[in-house]
Amino acid sequence: MSASVCPAVDNSFGPYAGSCRGGFDFTLLFEETILSLLPLCVILVVVPWRALYLVRRKTKVDGTVLLPLKLLLYASYAVLQIALIALWANPSAVRTRSTIPNAAVGLVGFLTLALLSFLEHQRTLRPSMLLEFYLLFSLLFDAAKVRTLWLQGYNNNPAIVSTVALVLKLLLLVAEAQTKRKSLRIEWKSQSPEATSGLFGKSLFLWLNQTFRRGYANSLSVEDLLQLDKHLMAHYLFEKLHQPWSDLAEKSPRSLLMLVISRLKWRVLAAVPPRLALIGFKFCQPFLIERAISFNRQPINQTSTNQGYGLIGAYFLVYTGIAVTMGQYQHLTYRSITMARGGLISMLFAKVTFVKANAADPASSLTLMSADIERITNGWQTMHECWANPIEVGIAIYLLERQLGPACAIPLGVAIGKLDILVKHRVPLAVSWIKA
């Protein structure tokens, strides 16, 4: 496509830029609005509510060099945004209708994020997951925009400033990801490493590394294990469940289940977003495989080379996403199971200690604390599969129908038949085992 046509293409929403820049790029307007302006506006909506919450919290961190460093980086980024506004305002700059508004909102946005960073640093135990999440994704999006500016060839000055801004944003992400454990005040020093980990530490389970190092060098003892999070402590779970159970006027066979779910609802629901993300990443795989097969049939040229690099990046993102979301889904699920088990056993133990010796069968109490609690926790391991699996089956049948037509119903019928057999034989055996 002619170089004189590409500015007009970039001023359209696209998102595909046609044959401009090798036929493998977004339009500049799409990158400025969807990849830059939209995420910033979303986080700016959240910032006031988060800031109001943090203002009411106690200061947990002593003064360190990390906070002035963060603020200096935010100020430097704001200066670069001012420089970008000046460069884009130049009549000779080839811009879109959203370029200057995008730069102006970016300036205001990062000044606001600097205020949030100040509050997050002083009044939270862990690095700001909100800022880490935004900076990570905006860094990827900004890299795409910087690539576009350099490939244009006629916006070199904005490209240089945007590249420096991209490096500053990377430094900001590194600074925001630093833990504050060493600078916590005395009353907060005993917090578990998990409670003081940020987005990367939690997603990659980096807080377990010190335990692995100890176990690799020596035999682990109880003293070597990490401090438990307060939300997993027996006394916390007992207080969370015992009093509401005592205040319950009418108790039905499902009252205890509903009480536990209602009291731990946010812990239970915390596993829903990673499970949904896992579904999305899983079903990206057949599309990637289909695209890779068609890519192998293409002739080798500049366009196919760019598409190959895109496929490499897509595979990296999808399989990294599967690993991270699977880990977080299972971690959050077992965390809610641990909380439910700890609360139930604490309540049962408290009940047994106040029951007269001749008023109850010790064997029944032992059964409740072993077999029944085990069955409850085993059932909770797959509680999110109850809603996730039908979604996955529906998507899978749809994808099969695209390839096989009506024959896609055959595997569905086989699965339903096996499920019917399993229910008929396994449930009675499980009931007999519990009664025994």
pLDDT tens digits, 303-337: 788 888 889 999 999 999 999 999 999 999 999 99
pTM of this structure:
0.85
Residues of the chain with pLDDT > 70, as a percent, come to 91
How confident is the model at residue 208, as a pLDDT? Answer: 87
pLDDT tens per residue across span 208-227: 888 888 888 888 887 778 88
Whether the per-residue pLDDT at 11 is higher than 90: the answer is: no
Residue 436 has pLDDT above 60, yes or no: no
Tell me: pLDDT of 367 over 70: no
The confidence band for 234, taking pLDDT boundaries of 50, 70 and 90, is: confident
Q: What is the pLDDT of residue 253?
A: 78
Give per-residue pLDDT as tens, 122-148.
999 889 999 999 999 999 999 999 999
Q: Is the model's pLDDT at 53 over the cut of 70?
A: yes
Give me the chain's average pLDDT, please. Answer: 86
Nearest C-alpha neighbor of 14 from the set 28, 3, 4: 28
Residues 384-423 pLDDT 10s: 998 998 899 888 888 888 888 887 777 777 777 776 666 6
Task: Work out the average pLDDT over 66-78.
Answer: 93
Name residues whose C-beta falls within 8 Å of residue 177's C-beta, 6 or more positions apart in sequence: 127, 132, 198, 199, 200, 201
Q: Return d(Cα 285, Cα 314) in angstroms, integer.
A: 10
Please tell me the predicted confidence (pLDDT) of residue 279: 95
The band of 15, judged by pLDDT with boundaries at 50, 70 and 90, is confident
For residues 80-101, give the mean pLDDT: 90
